[in-house]
């Protein structure tokens, strides 16, 4: 009787579980049985592995073969187990030494000709292997750079099964031809889900590769919304832009991700893991270093926003925007259920999706930007524009954004129509993205220094109890906010969010702690009520 084992990784959401692939050969009628809760694509690996082994020059064992995936209680899906199954079978058949593959994690799909094809989710799989104590992984050559991001683990990238057999048997490694020159690499098809990318609103226009970079200086006028955008980027505060069509709401939102600071190493790994599982990680760019941008269409379902789908839930838009910007244009046109499903991730920074196939916890700490028109025709706030919407229709339209959702939005700004002087450039160009981004980085550095030794890095993450007890403001700074709380203008959550914005405003102007004018700016940004204070975030 021959027995061998190899290891692979099963992904549950963006978390991995190391799976032991066991192969057992017994005398009897030749058969191939695969057990351990495999899905349809994994059941089909029996034929793929058999053809790949034969076409790689190895002999397929003509015995009763049983392949078990342990732990058997964890659902397994995808084609990334092919490489481990093939090596376990070859180890049981003594074509290779079983000890050589016993403690090696293998991830990859096999073609019928023996080529190793890349699969999605390599980074979270290798992270799970490293956390489990494994030191060696074998992955397809195209994803070796992604796997190498994990420190303390040895990565071997292979093009074909015959190359891997040669390495394990200490034989000369054969040369495998690369894909056809001048044609797209068909091997990369397994990394991308059809329909994702620019067309699905998963990347800003700056990533289109045409050399044009979105700049805040392109936005004509709009001084107050630009300053609110800067405050949102500096503190990670959610933002609502309301105004008539054509005022520049979408232009502002598209430029927000460029204002955000570059991701830290840990944040980059988190974002890359989500994008790798979702199939939107660009080939040749194994690490996401800039804040992502996701702008789903207003017809998106609740499952596409928070995650879901058939079988094991997949990441939704809130997870694809993790550590970046989630822009909901025409927000009142989204379904009420989809918008209300955002309440929990806005508070907790993650989303828990429960389905019959399992429960998945997905990261979802994003900066939300809502854009809304004042009425269905969009001309309600324009003088002499001829809005024909009855008051009841306007109220119903504005009520589509529920009170509990808006209570979680820190900044609410009216975007006024652009006048002729600003549109024709007579008022001068505004500050560029680089200038604003530099102030944002400085403000975040001040916040990080103040919050050193705590689990928080930005002002939007600090709990209200800490703001009221440990991070004290200047004496008398909260007088106006307390009056609004007593009058019912602010809720308890709203007061905490005003405190967070006030700290961000103080960080932008380089102050040690907020004063009454900083709180007044925060109240004006939240309630829209004029407080008689200048709105310049970086200067008084």
pLDDT of residue 193: 60
pLDDT tens per residue, the chain (540 residues)? 589 999 999 998 888 999 999 999 999 899 999 999 898 889 999 999 999 999 999 999 999 999 999 999 888 988 999 999 999 999 999 999 999 999 999 999 999 999 999 999 999 999 999 999 999 999 999 999 999 999 999 999 999 999 999 999 999 999 887 755 555 566 666 666 655 544 345 554 444 444 467 888 888 878 889 999 999 999 999 999 998 888 889 999 999 999 999 999 999 999 999 999 988 887 677 899 999 999 999 999 998 999 887 767 789 999 999 999 999 999 999 999 999 999 999 989 999 988 776 788 999 999 999 999 989 988 887 776 678 889 899 999 999 999 899 989 999 999 988 877 777 765 567 789 999 999 999 999 999 999 998 989 999 999 988 888 888 888 888 888 888 888 888 888 888 999 999 999 999 999 888 999 999 999 999 887 776 666 554 444
* Cβ-defined contacts of 196-200 (< 8 Å, 24+): 196/278, 196/279, 196/280, 197/280, 200/296
pLDDT of residue 431: 87
Question: Which residue stretches of 210-316 are H helix?
Answer: 223-235, 249-254, 256-259, 265-278, 302-306
What is the pTM (predicted TM-score) of this model?
A: 0.88
Tokens found for residue 53: 């082994």
- Parallel, antiparallel or unpaired: strands 239-242 and 367-372: parallel
CB 503, CB 471: distance < 8 Å = yes
pLDDT of residue 158: 95
- Rounded to the nearest 10°, the torsion over CA 233, 237, 240, 245 is 10
Sole residue written with tokens 């004063």:
515
pLDDT of residue 504: 95
pLDDT of residue 210: 47
pLDDT of residue 538: 46
The whole-angstrom separation of Cα 280 and Cα 431 is 32
pLDDT of residue 226: 92
SS3 category, 153? coil
Sole residue written with tokens 């232009």:
251
* Residue 207, φ and ψ in degrees, nearest 5: -95, 15
pLDDT of residue 131: 95
Cα separations in angstroms, 42 against 17, 67, 337: 16, 12, 35
pLDDT of residue 197: 45
CB 422, CB 242: distance < 8 Å = no
């Amino acid at each position: 009787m021959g027995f061998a084992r190899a290891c692979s990784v099963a992904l549950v959401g963006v978390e991995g579980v190391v799976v032991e692939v066991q192969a057992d050969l017994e005398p009897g009628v030749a058969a191939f049985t695969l057990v351990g809760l495999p899905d349809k694509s994994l059941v089909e690996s029996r034929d793929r592995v058999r053809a790949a082994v034969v076409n790689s020059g190895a002999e397929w064992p003509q015995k009763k073969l049983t392949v078990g995936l342990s732990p058997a209680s964890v659902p397994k899906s995808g084609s990334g187990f092919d490489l481990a199954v093939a090596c376990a079978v070859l180890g049981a058949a003594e074509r290779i030494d079983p000890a050589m593959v016993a403690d090696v994690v293998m991830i990859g799909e096999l073609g019928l000709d023996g080529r190793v094809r890349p699969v999605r989710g390599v980074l979270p799989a290798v992270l799970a292997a490293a956390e489990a104590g494994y030191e060696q992984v074998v992955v397809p050559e195209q994803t070796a750079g992604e796997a190498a991001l994990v420190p303390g683990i040895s990565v071997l990238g292979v093009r074909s099964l015959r190359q891997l057999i040669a390495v394990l048997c200490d034989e000369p490694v054969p040369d495998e031809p690369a894909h056809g020159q001048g044609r797209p690499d068909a091997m990369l098809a397994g990394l991308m889900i059809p329909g994702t990318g620019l067309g699905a609103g998963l990347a800003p226009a700056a990533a289109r590769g045409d050399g044009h970079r979105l700049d805040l200086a392109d936005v004509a006028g709009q001084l107050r919304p630009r300053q609110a955008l800067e405050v949102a980027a500096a503190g990670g505060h959610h933002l609502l832009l309301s105004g008539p069509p054509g005022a520049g709401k979408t232009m502002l939102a598209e430029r927000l991700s460029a204002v955000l600071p570059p991701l830290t190493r840990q944040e980059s790994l988190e974002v890359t893991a989500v994008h790798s599982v979702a199939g939107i990680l660009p080939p040749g760019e194994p690490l996401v270093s800039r804040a992502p941008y996701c702008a789903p269409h207003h017809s998106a379902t609740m499952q596409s926003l928070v995650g879901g789908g058939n079988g094991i839930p997949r990441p939704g838009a809130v997870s694809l925007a993790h550590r970046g910007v989630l822009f909901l244009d025409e927000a009142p046109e989204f379904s009420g259920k989809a918008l209300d499903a955002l309440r929990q991730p806005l508070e907790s920074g993650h989303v828990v999706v429960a389905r019959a196939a399992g429960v998945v916890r997905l990261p979802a700490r994003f900066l939300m930007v809502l854009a809304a028109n004042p009425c269905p025709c969009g001309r309600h706030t324009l003088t002499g524009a001829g809005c024909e919407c009855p008051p009841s229709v306007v109220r119903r339209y504005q009520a589509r954004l529920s009170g509990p959702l808006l209570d979680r939005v820190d900044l609410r700004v009216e975007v006024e129509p652009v006048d002729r002087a600003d549109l024709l450039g007579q008022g001068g160009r505004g500050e560029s993205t680089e200038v604003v981004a530099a102030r944002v980085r400085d403000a975040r550095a001040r916040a990080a220094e103040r919050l050193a030794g705590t689990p928080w890095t930005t002002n939007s993450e600090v709990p209200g109890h800490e703001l009221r007890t440990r991070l004290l403001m200047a004496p008398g700074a909260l007088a106006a906010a307390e009056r609004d709380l007593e009058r019912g203008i602010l809720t308890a959550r709203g007061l905490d969010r005003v405190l967070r914005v006030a700290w961000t405003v103080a960080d932008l102007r380089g102050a040690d702690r907020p004063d009454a004018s900083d709180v007044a700016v925060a109240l004006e940004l939240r309630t829209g009520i004029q407080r008689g204070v200048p709105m310049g975030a970086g200067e008084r």
